Amino acid sequence: MLQSVAVFCGSQNGNNPIYIQHAETLGKLLAENKIDIVYGGGNSGLMGAVANAALENAGKIIGIIPKRLVDRERAHKSLTQIHIVDDMHTRKQMMYSLSEAILILPGGNGTLDEMFETITWNVLSIHDKKVILLNSAGFYNALVQHIENMFNEGFLYSENKIEICSTPEEVLQLLTKD
C-alpha cells in the first residue's frame, strides 16, 4: 500500500472555486486513507487547502519550504513536520525523496516546473514514481494536448507516463489500486 505522496499545486486559489474544492477533498481523502502528504509547506492557496483539509482529518502532512518563501507562501504553522530549506532545488529533492507518488493539481510556473522535473527524472530513470495530474475542470487540457504534440512530433524519447484524473476520487482510486 502506498504510504506517501508529494502534492504540487498553486500557492494561490485560482479563479474557479472547484480548484479549492478539489484540493480540500483530496487532502481529506488522503488523510482518511492514511496516505502521508509531502508538499510545499505553505498556508495559502491550494497548498493551504490541501494541508488544512488533511490536518482536519487527522492526516500526517510534511511541509518543505525555502527560507525565501516562508513569508511569501506563508509557512504553515500547524503541520506534522516542516522543513525550512535553503532553495527550491533542495525543496524538490526532499519532496521527491519522501514520497512514493506525485500528484499535480492546478498551479502556476512552480507547479509546472515541479511536474516536468518529475517526468524528466522518470524518463532518465533517476526515479520511477507514478505521476497523477488532477485536471480539475479541464485546467490542464491544453497542456496535455501540447505534451501529446511533443511526442507526436518526435521531441520526447517516450510517452510521458502521466495518469490524468478529473476528480479527487479518481486520484485516490489510482493511488490505492494494486
Residue range 52-81, pLDDT digits in tens? 999 999 999 999 999 998 877 689 999 999
Out of 3.40.50.450, 3.40.50.280, 3.40.190.10, 3.30.470.10, the CATH code matching 4-176 is 3.40.50.450
Q: How confident is the model at residue 178 (pLDDT cuts 50, 70, 90)?
A: low
Give the pTM.
0.94
Considering the chain, what percentage of its residues have pLDDT values greater than 70? Answer: 98
Q: What CA–CA distance (Å, rounded) separates 82 from 40?
A: 9
Q: What is the pLDDT of residues 86-130, one digit of tens each?
A: 999 999 999 999 999 999 999 999 999 999 999 999 888 888 899
Beta-bridge partner residues of 38 = 6, 62
Residue ranges of domains in the chain: 4-176
